[in-house]
Structure 1
Amino acid sequence: MNTDNVVVDAGIPAPADLRRVLGHFATGVAVITAHDGTRPLGFTCQSVVSVSLDPPYVSFCPAKSSTSWPLLREAGALCVNILAREQSALCRQFAVRGADKFAGVAWDRAGNGAPALAGVLAQLEVTVEFEHDAGDHTVVLARIGDLRAVEGAEPLLFYKGGFGGFAA
Protein backbone atom coordinates (compact mmCIF):
# COMPACT_ATOMS: atom_id res chain seq x y z
CA MET A 1 0.00 0.00 0.00
CA ASN A 2 1.46 3.35 -1.05
CA THR A 3 0.85 6.13 1.44
CA ASP A 4 1.81 9.75 1.59
CA ASN A 5 2.58 10.43 5.21
CA VAL A 6 1.73 13.88 6.43
CA VAL A 7 4.08 15.47 8.93
CA VAL A 8 2.05 17.39 11.48
CA ASP A 9 3.82 20.35 13.05
CA ALA A 10 2.77 20.89 16.67
CA GLY A 11 -0.37 18.79 16.16
CA ILE A 12 -1.87 21.10 13.52
CA PRO A 13 -2.00 19.84 9.92
CA ALA A 14 -1.54 22.40 7.16
CA PRO A 15 -4.69 23.32 5.17
CA ALA A 16 -3.17 21.87 1.97
CA ASP A 17 -2.54 18.55 3.74
CA LEU A 18 -6.08 18.52 5.14
CA ARG A 19 -7.53 19.11 1.68
CA ARG A 20 -5.34 16.42 0.09
CA VAL A 21 -5.95 13.74 2.72
CA LEU A 22 -9.67 14.43 3.32
CA GLY A 23 -10.10 14.45 -0.46
CA HIS A 24 -9.85 10.67 -0.20
CA PHE A 25 -13.34 10.68 1.30
CA ALA A 26 -15.88 10.64 -1.54
CA THR A 27 -18.90 12.87 -0.95
CA GLY A 28 -22.12 13.56 -2.72
CA VAL A 29 -22.77 17.04 -4.07
CA ALA A 30 -25.83 19.20 -3.45
CA VAL A 31 -27.09 22.65 -4.31
CA ILE A 32 -28.80 24.38 -1.39
CA THR A 33 -31.52 26.78 -2.61
CA ALA A 34 -33.97 29.33 -1.26
CA HIS A 35 -36.20 32.09 -2.62
CA ASP A 36 -36.20 35.50 -0.96
CA GLY A 37 -39.54 36.60 -2.47
CA THR A 38 -37.79 38.41 -5.29
CA ARG A 39 -35.23 35.99 -6.67
CA PRO A 40 -33.92 32.44 -6.35
CA LEU A 41 -30.69 31.90 -4.41
CA GLY A 42 -28.32 28.98 -4.12
CA PHE A 43 -24.84 27.57 -3.58
CA THR A 44 -23.01 24.29 -4.11
CA CYS A 45 -22.34 22.22 -1.00
CA GLN A 46 -20.54 18.90 -0.57
CA SER A 47 -20.90 18.65 3.20
CA VAL A 48 -24.51 17.44 3.46
CA VAL A 49 -24.93 14.63 5.96
CA SER A 50 -27.83 12.79 7.57
CA VAL A 51 -27.88 13.52 11.30
CA SER A 52 -31.06 12.06 12.81
CA LEU A 53 -34.10 10.04 11.77
CA ASP A 54 -36.22 11.14 14.74
CA PRO A 55 -36.47 14.07 14.56
CA PRO A 56 -35.47 14.17 10.88
CA TYR A 57 -32.32 16.31 10.61
CA VAL A 58 -29.60 16.92 8.04
CA SER A 59 -26.55 19.07 8.39
CA PHE A 60 -24.45 21.07 5.95
CA CYS A 61 -21.54 23.46 6.32
CA PRO A 62 -21.38 26.72 4.35
CA ALA A 63 -18.10 28.63 4.37
CA LYS A 64 -18.08 31.80 6.45
CA SER A 65 -16.81 33.58 3.33
CA SER A 66 -20.02 32.65 1.48
CA THR A 67 -21.99 35.63 0.26
CA SER A 68 -24.95 33.36 -0.58
CA TRP A 69 -25.48 31.66 2.79
CA PRO A 70 -26.56 34.79 4.72
CA LEU A 71 -29.22 35.44 2.05
CA LEU A 72 -30.48 31.84 2.13
CA ARG A 73 -30.56 31.86 5.95
CA GLU A 74 -32.69 35.00 5.87
CA ALA A 75 -35.13 33.39 3.40
CA GLY A 76 -35.71 30.54 5.87
CA ALA A 77 -37.20 27.75 3.73
CA LEU A 78 -34.51 25.78 1.91
CA CYS A 79 -34.29 22.93 -0.56
CA VAL A 80 -31.31 20.57 -0.55
CA ASN A 81 -31.02 19.43 -4.19
CA ILE A 82 -28.82 16.31 -4.35
CA LEU A 83 -27.15 16.27 -7.76
CA ALA A 84 -27.22 13.42 -10.25
CA ARG A 85 -24.08 12.13 -11.97
CA GLU A 86 -24.55 14.18 -15.15
CA GLN A 87 -24.92 17.49 -13.27
CA SER A 88 -21.28 18.47 -12.71
CA ALA A 89 -21.78 21.61 -14.87
CA LEU A 90 -24.69 22.61 -12.62
CA CYS A 91 -22.48 22.04 -9.59
CA ARG A 92 -19.83 24.38 -11.01
CA GLN A 93 -22.43 26.99 -11.98
CA PHE A 94 -23.69 27.26 -8.39
CA ALA A 95 -20.14 27.36 -7.00
CA VAL A 96 -19.28 30.65 -8.74
CA ARG A 97 -19.43 33.77 -6.59
CA GLY A 98 -21.49 36.69 -7.88
CA ALA A 99 -22.78 34.97 -11.02
CA ASP A 100 -26.43 34.60 -12.04
CA LYS A 101 -26.45 31.04 -10.75
CA PHE A 102 -29.95 30.29 -12.06
CA ALA A 103 -29.23 31.38 -15.67
CA GLY A 104 -30.54 28.60 -17.93
CA VAL A 105 -31.46 26.37 -14.96
CA ALA A 106 -34.87 24.68 -14.96
CA TRP A 107 -36.60 24.74 -11.58
CA ASP A 108 -39.99 24.82 -9.89
CA ARG A 109 -41.04 25.79 -6.40
CA ALA A 110 -40.86 23.05 -3.81
CA GLY A 111 -43.75 22.77 -1.35
CA ASN A 112 -41.96 25.17 0.99
CA GLY A 113 -41.36 27.72 -1.80
CA ALA A 114 -37.63 27.09 -2.26
CA PRO A 115 -36.34 26.32 -5.77
CA ALA A 116 -36.47 22.61 -6.61
CA LEU A 117 -33.96 22.04 -9.41
CA ALA A 118 -34.94 19.85 -12.35
CA GLY A 119 -33.21 16.53 -12.97
CA VAL A 120 -31.70 16.08 -9.51
CA LEU A 121 -31.32 12.76 -7.72
CA ALA A 122 -33.22 13.80 -4.59
CA GLN A 123 -34.63 16.83 -2.77
CA LEU A 124 -35.08 17.67 0.88
CA GLU A 125 -37.27 20.59 1.95
CA VAL A 126 -35.73 21.90 5.17
CA THR A 127 -35.81 24.70 7.72
CA VAL A 128 -32.80 25.82 9.74
CA GLU A 129 -33.03 24.99 13.45
CA PHE A 130 -29.47 25.52 14.71
CA GLU A 131 -26.15 26.99 13.62
CA HIS A 132 -22.77 26.43 15.22
CA ASP A 133 -19.52 28.27 14.61
CA ALA A 134 -16.85 25.86 13.32
CA GLY A 135 -13.63 27.59 12.30
CA ASP A 136 -13.93 28.89 8.74
CA HIS A 137 -17.36 27.27 8.27
CA THR A 138 -20.74 27.23 9.96
CA VAL A 139 -22.40 23.93 10.87
CA VAL A 140 -26.11 24.17 10.03
CA LEU A 141 -28.64 21.71 11.45
CA ALA A 142 -31.86 21.68 9.45
CA ARG A 143 -35.14 19.85 10.02
CA ILE A 144 -36.53 17.93 7.06
CA GLY A 145 -40.15 18.71 6.23
CA ASP A 146 -40.63 16.83 2.97
CA LEU A 147 -38.43 14.77 0.68
CA ARG A 148 -38.40 12.86 -2.59
CA ALA A 149 -35.95 10.84 -4.68
CA VAL A 150 -35.62 9.52 -8.22
CA GLU A 151 -35.02 5.78 -8.23
CA GLY A 152 -32.46 4.38 -10.68
CA ALA A 153 -30.49 7.62 -11.08
CA GLU A 154 -26.83 7.79 -10.06
CA PRO A 155 -25.21 10.36 -7.74
CA LEU A 156 -22.61 12.97 -8.61
CA LEU A 157 -19.58 12.30 -6.42
CA PHE A 158 -16.66 14.53 -5.49
CA TYR A 159 -13.35 12.72 -4.92
CA LYS A 160 -9.78 14.01 -4.79
CA GLY A 161 -10.71 17.32 -6.38
CA GLY A 162 -12.72 15.87 -9.26
CA PHE A 163 -16.22 14.74 -10.15
CA GLY A 164 -17.35 11.24 -11.03
CA GLY A 165 -19.95 8.59 -10.44
CA PHE A 166 -20.48 5.36 -8.57
CA ALA A 167 -19.38 1.98 -9.90
CA ALA A 168 -20.59 -1.13 -8.07
Structure 2
Amino acid sequence: MNSLSDISEDADLRRVFGRFPTGVTALCGMDEGKPIGMTASAFVAISLQPALVSVCIKQGSATWRQLRARGRIGISFLGDGHAAAARQLAQRSENRFSGLDYEVTADGALFLANATAWLECSVETEIAAGDHEIVLFRLHKAAVADGVMPLVFHSSDFHTLVPIG
Protein backbone atom coordinates (compact mmCIF):
# COMPACT_ATOMS: atom_id res chain seq x y z
CA MET A 1 0.00 0.00 0.00
CA ASN A 2 1.19 3.50 -0.78
CA SER A 3 1.48 5.75 2.24
CA LEU A 4 -1.68 7.60 3.24
CA SER A 5 -1.69 11.37 2.84
CA ASP A 6 -4.05 14.13 3.81
CA ILE A 7 -6.65 15.09 1.25
CA SER A 8 -6.02 18.77 0.70
CA GLU A 9 -8.08 19.52 -2.38
CA ASP A 10 -11.40 18.42 -3.87
CA ALA A 11 -9.55 17.12 -6.94
CA ASP A 12 -7.53 14.75 -4.74
CA LEU A 13 -10.65 13.39 -3.09
CA ARG A 14 -12.46 13.11 -6.44
CA ARG A 15 -9.54 11.01 -7.72
CA VAL A 16 -9.74 8.73 -4.67
CA PHE A 17 -13.53 8.32 -4.94
CA GLY A 18 -13.16 7.66 -8.67
CA ARG A 19 -11.16 4.50 -7.94
CA PHE A 20 -14.36 2.76 -6.81
CA PRO A 21 -16.31 1.57 -9.87
CA THR A 22 -20.02 2.31 -9.83
CA GLY A 23 -22.97 1.63 -12.05
CA VAL A 24 -24.56 4.56 -13.85
CA THR A 25 -28.24 5.47 -13.55
CA ALA A 26 -30.46 7.96 -15.32
CA LEU A 27 -33.18 9.64 -13.24
CA CYS A 28 -35.89 10.90 -15.57
CA GLY A 29 -39.45 12.13 -15.75
CA MET A 30 -41.81 14.33 -17.69
CA ASP A 31 -42.47 17.96 -16.75
CA GLU A 32 -45.37 19.58 -18.62
CA GLY A 33 -44.82 17.29 -21.59
CA LYS A 34 -41.06 17.84 -21.69
CA PRO A 35 -38.51 15.16 -20.71
CA ILE A 36 -36.14 16.04 -17.87
CA GLY A 37 -33.34 13.92 -16.52
CA MET A 38 -29.89 13.53 -15.08
CA THR A 39 -27.28 10.87 -14.43
CA ALA A 40 -26.18 9.60 -11.04
CA SER A 41 -23.57 7.01 -10.14
CA ALA A 42 -24.09 6.91 -6.38
CA PHE A 43 -26.96 4.39 -6.37
CA VAL A 44 -27.55 1.95 -3.51
CA ALA A 45 -30.19 -0.74 -3.00
CA ILE A 46 -31.44 -0.18 0.55
CA SER A 47 -34.29 -2.53 1.48
CA LEU A 48 -36.43 -5.34 0.08
CA GLN A 49 -39.34 -4.78 2.51
CA PRO A 50 -40.30 -2.09 1.91
CA ALA A 51 -38.60 -1.79 -1.48
CA LEU A 52 -36.26 1.22 -1.15
CA VAL A 53 -33.22 2.52 -3.04
CA SER A 54 -31.14 5.67 -2.70
CA VAL A 55 -29.23 8.03 -4.97
CA CYS A 56 -26.90 10.88 -4.00
CA ILE A 57 -27.52 14.16 -5.82
CA LYS A 58 -25.43 17.32 -5.63
CA GLN A 59 -27.14 20.10 -3.68
CA GLY A 60 -28.36 22.95 -5.84
CA SER A 61 -29.07 20.80 -8.91
CA ALA A 62 -31.67 22.62 -11.01
CA THR A 63 -32.61 19.37 -12.72
CA TRP A 64 -33.24 17.69 -9.37
CA ARG A 65 -35.48 20.61 -8.31
CA GLN A 66 -37.64 19.85 -11.36
CA LEU A 67 -37.57 16.08 -10.94
CA ARG A 68 -38.32 15.98 -7.20
CA ALA A 69 -41.72 17.59 -7.83
CA ARG A 70 -42.80 14.70 -10.11
CA GLY A 71 -45.08 12.08 -8.65
CA ARG A 72 -43.10 9.28 -10.25
CA ILE A 73 -39.49 9.18 -11.42
CA GLY A 74 -37.94 6.57 -13.67
CA ILE A 75 -34.53 5.20 -12.78
CA SER A 76 -32.81 3.43 -15.68
CA PHE A 77 -29.68 1.36 -15.03
CA LEU A 78 -27.61 2.31 -18.05
CA GLY A 79 -26.21 -0.40 -20.30
CA ASP A 80 -23.07 -0.88 -22.34
CA GLY A 81 -24.36 1.22 -25.25
CA HIS A 82 -25.20 4.27 -23.12
CA ALA A 83 -21.84 6.05 -22.66
CA ALA A 84 -22.78 8.88 -25.05
CA ALA A 85 -26.28 9.12 -23.52
CA ALA A 86 -24.78 9.35 -20.02
CA ARG A 87 -22.52 12.21 -21.10
CA GLN A 88 -25.44 13.92 -22.84
CA LEU A 89 -27.73 13.65 -19.79
CA ALA A 90 -24.97 14.99 -17.53
CA GLN A 91 -24.67 18.22 -19.56
CA ARG A 92 -26.43 21.45 -18.67
CA SER A 93 -28.41 21.65 -21.86
CA GLU A 94 -32.00 21.99 -23.02
CA ASN A 95 -31.40 19.19 -25.55
CA ARG A 96 -30.42 16.39 -23.15
CA PHE A 97 -32.86 13.95 -24.77
CA SER A 98 -32.05 14.73 -28.41
CA GLY A 99 -31.73 11.42 -30.28
CA LEU A 100 -32.42 9.27 -27.20
CA ASP A 101 -35.05 6.53 -27.27
CA TYR A 102 -37.30 6.41 -24.24
CA GLU A 103 -40.71 5.39 -22.93
CA VAL A 104 -42.96 7.25 -20.51
CA THR A 105 -45.43 5.66 -18.10
CA ALA A 106 -48.92 7.00 -17.50
CA ASP A 107 -47.59 8.41 -14.20
CA GLY A 108 -44.81 10.37 -15.95
CA ALA A 109 -41.78 8.20 -15.15
CA LEU A 110 -39.38 8.17 -18.10
CA PHE A 111 -37.19 5.17 -18.98
CA LEU A 112 -34.30 5.03 -21.43
CA ALA A 113 -34.41 2.22 -23.99
CA ASN A 114 -31.82 -0.59 -23.83
CA ALA A 115 -31.07 -0.22 -20.12
CA THR A 116 -30.24 -3.20 -17.90
CA ALA A 117 -33.16 -2.48 -15.56
CA TRP A 118 -35.87 0.10 -14.87
CA LEU A 119 -37.39 1.26 -11.58
CA GLU A 120 -40.52 3.37 -11.24
CA CYS A 121 -40.13 5.28 -7.98
CA SER A 122 -41.41 8.10 -5.83
CA VAL A 123 -39.38 10.24 -3.42
CA GLU A 124 -39.66 8.90 0.12
CA THR A 125 -37.35 11.39 1.86
CA GLU A 126 -34.21 13.50 1.38
CA ILE A 127 -31.32 13.71 3.81
CA ALA A 128 -28.72 16.49 3.69
CA ALA A 129 -25.21 15.02 3.57
CA GLY A 130 -22.39 17.52 3.02
CA ASP A 131 -22.61 18.95 -0.49
CA HIS A 132 -25.12 16.29 -1.58
CA GLU A 133 -28.61 15.07 -0.75
CA ILE A 134 -29.22 11.39 -0.13
CA VAL A 135 -32.56 10.76 -1.80
CA LEU A 136 -34.47 7.72 -0.61
CA PHE A 137 -36.90 6.35 -3.21
CA ARG A 138 -39.80 3.93 -2.77
CA LEU A 139 -40.08 1.42 -5.63
CA HIS A 140 -43.48 0.87 -7.20
CA LYS A 141 -42.63 -1.16 -10.32
CA ALA A 142 -39.50 -2.70 -11.84
CA ALA A 143 -38.30 -4.58 -14.91
CA VAL A 144 -35.01 -6.12 -16.04
CA ALA A 145 -33.43 -6.77 -19.43
CA ASP A 146 -31.42 -9.94 -19.73
CA GLY A 147 -28.30 -9.91 -21.86
CA VAL A 148 -27.48 -6.20 -21.50
CA MET A 149 -24.17 -5.52 -19.76
CA PRO A 150 -24.00 -2.53 -17.40
CA LEU A 151 -22.24 0.76 -17.98
CA VAL A 152 -19.66 1.41 -15.24
CA PHE A 153 -18.03 4.68 -14.17
CA HIS A 154 -14.41 4.35 -13.00
CA SER A 155 -11.49 6.81 -12.91
CA SER A 156 -13.59 9.56 -14.52
CA ASP A 157 -14.55 7.51 -17.56
CA PHE A 158 -17.16 4.98 -18.69
CA HIS A 159 -16.38 1.28 -19.06
CA THR A 160 -18.24 -1.92 -19.91
CA LEU A 161 -17.97 -5.11 -17.91
CA VAL A 162 -16.92 -8.28 -19.66
CA PRO A 163 -17.81 -11.64 -18.12
CA ILE A 164 -14.86 -13.80 -17.05
CA GLY A 165 -14.85 -17.34 -18.33
In the superposition, the TM-score normalised over structure 1's length comes to 0.91
- Alignment equivalent of 2:116, drawn from 98, 102, 121: 121
Q: Is the 8 A contact 1:29 1:45 kept in 2?
A: yes
1:8-53 deviation per Cα after TM superposition (whole angstroms, max 9, x unaligned): 2xxx653222211121110000110011233111001111110111
1:164 corresponds to: 159
Find out whether 1:39 has 2:34 as its counterpart.
yes
Q: Does the Cα contact within 8 Å between 1:6 and 1:17 map onto a contact in 2?
A: no
Q: Is there any run of 5+ residues in structure 2 with no aligned partner, and where?
A: none
Amino acid at match of 1:128: V
Structure 1: unaligned runs, 5 residues or longer: none
Deviation string, structure 1 residues 66-109 (Cα, Å, up to 9, x no partner): 11000000113100011001110000000001331111111111
Pairwise CA distance, 1:127: 0.3
**Given residue 75 of structure 2, which amino acid in structure 1 is its aligned partner?**
V
Do 2:28 and 2:67's aligned partners in 1 also have CA atoms closer than 8 Å? yes
CA distance in 2, matches of 1:133, 1:76: 21
Give the TM-score taking structure 2 as reference length: 0.92
Task: Please name the residue that 2:103 is paired with.
Answer: 108
Check whether the contact 2:29–2:109 (CA below 8 A) recurs between aligned residues: yes
Q: 2:12 aligns with which of 17, 20, 33?
A: 17
Is the Cα contact below 8 Å between 2:43 and 2:56 reproduced in 1?
yes
Number of aligned residue pairs: give it.
Answer: 163
The percent identity for this pair of structures is: 36
Counterparts in 2 of 1:56 and 1:157: CA distance versus 1, 3 Å: same
Question: Aligned Cα RMSD in Å?
Answer: 1.5
Cα separation, 1, equivalents of 2:21 and 2:94: 27
Q: Name whichever of 152-161 and 30-39 sits farther off.
A: 30-39
Determine helix, strand or coil for the equivalent of 2:74: strand
CA deviation vs aligned residue, 1:111-142 (integer Å, no higher than 9, x gap): 53211111111100000010011111110000
Between the aligned partners of 1:22 and 1:34, the Cα distance in structure 2 is: 28
Once residues 103 and 137 of structure 1 are traced to their aligned partners in structure 2, the CA distance between those partners, rounded to angstroms, is: 28
1:50 correspondence with 2:48: no
Q: Secondary structure at the match of 2:62?
A: coil
Determine the structure 1 residue equivalent to 2:137.
Answer: 142
Which consecutive segments of 4 or more residues in structure 1 shift more than 2 A? 3-6, 110-113
SS at match of 2:57: coil
Alignment correspondent of 1:153: 148
Aligned partners of 2:38, 2:160: CA distance in 1, in Å? 21
Please give the alpha-carbon distance, in whole angstroms, between the structure 2 residues aligned to 1:125 and 1:35.
13
